[in-house]
Amino acid sequence: MSDVNTMQIEFTLNGTPTKVDVAPMDRLLDTLRYALGLTGSKEGCGEGECGACTVYLDGVPVNACLVPTFQVRGCHVETIESIPHESLDAMLTSGATQCGACTPGVVMTACWLNRHPELSKTHSVRELMAGNLCRCTGYDGIIDGIECEQRTKSSTL
């Protein structure tokens, strides 16, 4: 069913071509959670501060609460559901999670910077993680987990 207030958007979601009907200013976060059933991305603040809704848009982290869904037409979107479970090992070992509300977003940004070691030439881990707020554990466990993962990777290269 289509009406004048919806539009069909085509994009690639976690590697799969996807079509979805959305209202013109639906937020990507709502489309993912309520139209496509991917509830891994969380809504924390709804204003681009907390990063709980972090997804990759064409490979770069964005806040899904601040992206109108129509702007992802033709793009690649990746969500926490696309992240392999073993990517979480270092975070679990370092105690980087407690209540879990921030964790999907934290893991998305952490995996992104681990995939881009070149960023360490210009940026600290803390600066790159600044868009993911955690109100439970503090940040040391998160940073430890990321640095542990980076050490493991560089030693196996």
Partner 1 sequence: MLAGDSSLIPIAGATDVLVHWPGNLEAKTRSYLDLSGLGELRSMQWADDTFTIGALTTYWDVICNEQCAQAFPLLINAARQVGSVQIQSRGTWAGNIINASPAADGVPVLMAYDATVVMQSCEGIEEIPLDEFYFGYKQMRRRTDQLVVAIRMPRRAHDVEIFEKVGARRAQAISKIGLAITHSQDGWRIVASAVAPTILRCKAIETLLEEGSPVRSPDDLMAAIAKDVSPIDDIRSSRLYRERVLARILYHDLKGIVPSFV
| Residue 49 contacts partner 1 per CB under 8 A | yes
Residue of the chain from 9, 11, 22, 27 that contacts partner 1 (CB under 8 A): 27
61 binds partner 1 (CB under 8 A): yes
For residue 26, give the nearest of 18, 17, 16, 35 by alpha carbon. Answer: 35
Name residues contacting partner 1, limited to 69-98 (CB under 8 A). Answer: 70-71
Stretch of residues binding partner 1 (CB under 8 A), selected from 34-42, 96-104, 122-130, 143-151: 122-130
Q: Which of 41, 94, 109, 114 binds partner 1 (CB under 8 A)?
A: 109
Length of the chain: 157
* Sheet (strand 60-63) strand order: 16-22, 7-13, 76-78, 54-57, 60-63
Span near partner 1 by CB under 8 A; candidates 8-16, 33-41, 58-66, 86-94? 58-66
Of 45 and 92, which CB lies nearer to partner 1 in the complex structure? 45
For the chain, the helix, strand and coil percentages under 3-state DSSP, each to the nearest 5: 40, 15, 40
**Rounded CA gap, 56 and 112, in Å?**
8
